[in-house]
Amino acid sequence: MNRPIAVLLTLILTLLFSFVAGVAVLFLVIIPLDAFLRTYDVAPVLINFVTAFPIFFWFVLSLLGALFFYYQLTHSRRSLLVGVAFLILLSFISGAGMFFLTHTENPGLKLLQGKREETTKRIIFGPYPEESTLKSLKQQGITDVISLLNPSIPFERVLLLREMEAGKKVGITVHSVPMLPWVSKNSEALEEIKKLLAEPSRRYYIHCYLGKHRVDLVRQMLAAGGKVNQGREVIFPDRLERGRVVSLSGGRYVLGPLPTEEEWFNVVARGRFTTVISFLNPRNPEDVPWVEKEKEWGRSLNIKVMFVPFSHPPTQEEKDKLANLLGDVQGRFYIHGFRGDDPRLPLVEGYLRCGRWLPSPLPSLLAREGTVVVVPGLYLGPAPSPAEVAEIEKAGWRVVGNLTSENHLSLPEMARRIEETVAKEGLPAYFYGFAGEEQLHAVAELLRRYYYGMEELPPALAAAKSVKISGFIAVGPLQGEKMAAEPARAGFRTVAFLAGRDGMDAGEREKLVRAVHRAGIEGKILPYRDGYENEIILLSREKGPCYVAISAPALPQVVGDLKGHLLQR
């Protein structure tokens, strides 16, 4: 075979061989190795270093393959037959591999894919979404998809083009932000993702191919404060001098009473609030002294103070003005009346939780004896009549949840079922079908703790020398599977195992994570590293109360670290 044809055929064969070898190294070496290292909480930097060796091996293997093909094509007596045979064989294997890789719902790939995980109300992570998944995501309120697939990888290029087409059909915007796992820091891509996530009115599904590796880089960036809130995260106090504080949307909106001068500095300024919305009335003589003080505090701390008319009950014009303000202005809001029990604050809370103003007066079902308000827009109560169901649905409640078939579950499991339905269907919502008033009130109390935090630790955790940092964060030992259920019973939504400070080996930790999950809440492993406090704070904001499991000797250090982030009033 003459030299030019041999060179051309060698190039084609090498490309096919590199693809086959690359897929084999990826699925047989790199992915299992990565999973093994993560099991033992190996740092991401070290994982990248170790996985560089199989990638180098693939490069050398491809080079040796090229030399082998060229030698066979130029030295074999039947070079044409050899070339055709190699071409057919590699084309068949490559085609089969491409078919397997681009049909992402096949059982083999399903076993390797990561789970879809809603880390915040605005962001869901997961694997590659087919068109049916995009439709489901849109129904859940997702407006944008950030695809981390890299078109320089052949099968990912096919999937990306297919995803773009499916996005147009479904009506979801697909943003292509290519990333490469293991071999790149992907700094430019992460910066682009930060800019996209800075738009507060959008909800995002972020994915790579399997939903494990590249999305982890984005998770790490967000956990380190890489979204709208950057740098050192802070823990809001549960109460100020004049009443309770309620934090919503990951801390973007905080509702509470008028801060004192000291609280303006220690909470409002240090909490990086950009705008204060005050319901004090500059025309009311009693409010005027406070209005003047707020203006002065705002000027001295460079914080915008807006006095927004909001009656009780508010007019439609007042509602529209406040809604437009909350949607248009960027940054973090502190919204207040004079006291924490100002009746206007629950109205705003209901709007922020439900995405619209709740009707006034409420449907008769919600004022019925035995109905319990968990938060504005979430009600638990007795079984409604058909007429009451029609009335509540006409008023705009999106779901009437019957829990009769599930009232045998534990309290945390029932609370989780309600949360899952709310996450899927949204608020406002009404749930019924409890085994009795005792169960109803117990589930309601558990849900209130999820939303508002807890006043004090239960005896079992207090006896274990646990320490409450805030209503949403506590720290303490969690030894043994019997103890693993206590955080769930207390009202914690997540147990974060601080690997490196929890006094456990990997096997024991995984066993306790499973025990926590069986108790009805989530177990999460966080490595002890710089910025771990930010990860815990963000987890508590996005998931609800978080119990941090550590060893007794590590308690003073971790408590001190976290209290350093607490805004003292």
Q: What is the pLDDT of residues 440-450, one digit of tens each?
A: 999 999 999 99
d(CA 140, CA 240): 35
pLDDT value, residue 439: 96
Give the H/E segment covering residue 123.
strand 123-126
Q: Which of these, 324, 225, 342, 363, lies nearest to 281 by C-alpha position?
A: 342
Query: Given this model, what pLDDT does residue 395 score?
Result: 86
The residue whose two tokens read 């207040």 is: 336
pLDDT tier at 46, thresholds 50, 70, 90: low
Query: What pLDDT score does 367 carry?
Result: 84
Residue 35, Cβ density class (10 Å: 0-12 exposed, 13-18 middle, ≥19 buried): exposed
Residue with tokens 């823990």: 235
- The closest alpha carbon to 104, from 135, 146, 133, 145, belongs to 133
Of 439, 447, 389, the residue nearest 421 (C-alpha):
447
Per-residue model confidence as pLDDT tens digits over 252-294? 899 999 999 889 988 888 888 989 999 999 999 999 999 999 9
pLDDT of 230 reads 39
What secondary structure does DSSP assign to 448-463, as a single string? Answer: HHHHH--SS--HHHHH
- The percent of residues above 90 in pLDDT, for the chain, comes to 40
Q: Answer whether 60's CB lies under 8 Å from 546's CB.
A: no
- The CA–CA distances, whole Å, from 113 to 26, 105, 108, 109, 390 equal 14, 10, 9, 6, 42
Distance of CA 466 to the CA centre of its chain: 26
Residue carrying structure tokens 């399903």: 110
With tokens 């404060």, the residue in question is: 225
Q: What is the pLDDT of residues 313-354, one digit of tens each?
A: 999 999 999 999 888 777 889 999 999 999 999 999 999 999
> Which pLDDT score, from 0 to 100, does residue 228 have?
34
- Cis bond before residue 361 (omega within 30° of 0): yes
Closest CA to 366 of 315, 427, 322, 451: 427
pLDDT for residue 309? 92
| pLDDT class of 47 with cuts at 50, 70, 90 | low
pLDDT in tens, 192-231: 888 888 776 788 999 998 887 788 778 767 755 444 333 5
Instruction: Please list, residue by residue across 183-205, b when 16 or more beta carbons sit within 10 angstroms of its beta carbon and e when fewer do.
Output: eeebeebbebbbebbeebeebbb
